[in-house]
Structures are given as structure tokens and as C-alpha cells.
Amino acid sequence: MTPTGSLEPALLELDELQDRAVRAFASAGSPDDVEAARVEYLGQKQGRLKSAQERLKTLPNEAKKAYGQRFNGVKQALEAALDAARSRVERRAVADDAIDVTLPGTAPRLGHRHPLAQTADELIDIFGRFGFAVARGPEVEDVRHNFDALNIPPVHPARDPLDNFYLSEGTMLRSQTSTIQIRVMESQPPPVRVIAIGRVYRPDTVDATHSFMFHQVEGLMVDEGVTMGDLKTVLRLFARSYLGEDVQIRFRPSFFPFTEPSVEVDMLWHGGRRWVEMGGAGMVDPNVFKAVGYDPERVTGFAFGLGIERLCMRRHGIDDIRLLYQNDVRFLDQF
């Protein structure tokens, strides 16, 4: 300690304090280092500058002015060194976080459409080339569109509560996309050429070939003079476009309330020996035309329905429908 009342040693201590503090701030390499230097030299309680300020009390009155002036200069120098150190480490932190545009980029992992979505898109494209527009409708339907307008009587087994998802106030989850065909015919006069596509719901037990929710595509063509020959031609062209040129189709007699006559559509391809049932079809029943305000004496039409899951599984050799809904990336990456 310098003797009380000695000015020169006190001024030298101020110069040394300034020199050490400026070097400490200049060498601080991080925000923590800057904060440590600030506490040591500019701290309000035990900082070295605070101690130097207390020294003023020990000096004689004639020395206080000179010491005070030097002290103020040192304080300003230390505060300037602190500001400079803070700015430097902040710029360095920003630079460390900045993107180096000269480095090669990291390519994001790109996904792709689900195989069912791919199948639906392909069906839309194929039937679009045949002149069929796409129609969609609500998945929550009323009983009229789902049954009544499709000539399905109240006593028909298809209406059984165990075979449908009934909701409140006469509504239900649609059990078939034929409801969309009714809505299309209600909204426009003939001719009509559309495919109806979307999800349908039935309370089936889930196994390798069944699901409580699946997808359908249904076709409808209404005009004067439409025949079963037109239906078979459209389905043959579709089968060859989707499954290959060697595909054969056949019709087997069947029954559906909304078509008369009705057929099951079977397909055989790639030299196989087993016919595979792909869906149902037939000529639109006159009662359906009456329900939508069409004149069954003037127009005829055909309708067909195919399961999108079934088409997708046949195309790709998938043997379990549950694989399509498990979201296993290892499976989906194959498509």
C-alpha cells in the first residue's frame, strides 16, 4: 500500500489498473470471460475500480482533483474496453452460427405418395383418357343417397345396422361411392361420364383381405344407346392400361339392387390359370334413373365398382391389406 497522502504512487496504480483491465478485456474470448473481467474490474461491490475510487478518500484535499480527473479517464477507458469486448464476442457468436454458403448443402429426405394415392392417381389418369371426369362427395351421407335412391329397399340386408356405421339424424358413414353417382345425376342432365372415387366404411373384421375403411372407384356412363358392350369395352381398355396387354376379362351373372342386369367382373392376366374377381358392374336400374329425375325410356347407362386396395395389391403382389395402413417406412419405401 502506498502511504496516505502520496499522489504519485496513486496515479501510477491507476495507470497499472487501466493497463491490466484493458488487456483483460482484450483477451476475453467468450461472453463468460468478458463477464468475469467486468466483475473483477468494474464490479460495484468489490471491483478494482471501486477500490481505486475509495482511495480518493485517503488523499489530501490538494491531490483529490488530480486523482479524480485521472480516475474518470481510467473509468471511461475501462467502460470502452468492456463495450468493445462485448461487441467482439457477440460478432464471433453470430459468425459461428452463420451459414457458410460455400459448404455443400445437406439434401433433405424426400418422401413420396402412398401406394394407394399413387393407384388412385393412375386410375384418374386412365379413365380421364377415356373421357371420364372425376367426382367426389361427402363421406358422411344420408340414408336416401346411400340406399333409397340406389333402389335398395328397407328390408335389404345391406341396410343391417351390423353392416353399417349409422350416425344420428338419419346419417351414416357411406358404405359405397355409388352415393356420389346419385349426387352427380341429381345435379346435371344426361349425358354423364364420371368416376366417383373415395373412402367408404363398413364394420368388417380386420384381416388380410378386409378393413373397416377402404377405397373405391366407381364409373358411371349415361346417354342414349349405352349398352353392355360399352361397359365391357371400357373395362377391357382399363384392364389392359393398368395391368398389361395380356389381361382378359369376363362377366359372370350376379345381382345388385341398383343395376339390372348385374355382373361380377373377373380378370385373368400374365398367363395365369385363376380368374380373380375385381368388382361388380351392370346396367343402371330404371328405378335409379327415376329417383334422380332421368327418363329411363330415353337414356340407358352402365355402372361399375372396383376396390382400389384390391387393384393396388394385385399390381404390386401385396398379400395383406393391413400393410397399406401400418405406415411402416420399410414397406412404403418400396413404392
**219 and 146 in a common domain:** yes
Q: What's this model's pTM, rounded to 2 decimal places?
A: 0.66
**157 and 131 in a common domain:** yes
pLDDT value for 108: 84
- Show the domain range for 188: 115-332
Q: Classify residue 107: in a domain, yes or no.
A: no
Q: Is 264 annotated as a binding residue?
A: no
| Structural domain count, the chain | 2
- Give dist(CA 166, CA 328) in Å, integer: 31
**213 and 148 in a common domain:** yes
The torsion angles phi and psi of 85, rounded to 5 degrees, stand at -65, -45
**88 and 130 in a common domain:** no
**153 and 62 in a common domain:** no
pLDDT tens-place string over residues 133-180: 999 999 999 999 999 999 999 999 999 999 999 998 889 999 999 999
pLDDT tens-place string over residues 34-60: 888 888 888 887 788 888 888 778 888
pLDDT value for 186: 95
User: Other CB atoms closer than 10 Å to residue 159's CB: what's the count?
Assistant: 18
**131 and 50 in a common domain:** no
**301 and 267 in a common domain:** yes
Evaluate whether 173 touches 165 at the Cβ level (below 8 Å): yes
- Say which CATH number the domain at 251 has: 3.30.930.10
pLDDT tens-place string over residues 77-108: 888 988 888 888 887 766 666 677 787 888 88
pLDDT tens-place string over residues 179-227: 999 999 999 999 999 999 999 999 999 998 889 999 999 999 999 999 9
- Of residues 122 and 58, the one with the higher pLDDT is 122
Q: What is the mean pLDDT of residues 11-38?
A: 86
**125 and 54 in a common domain:** no
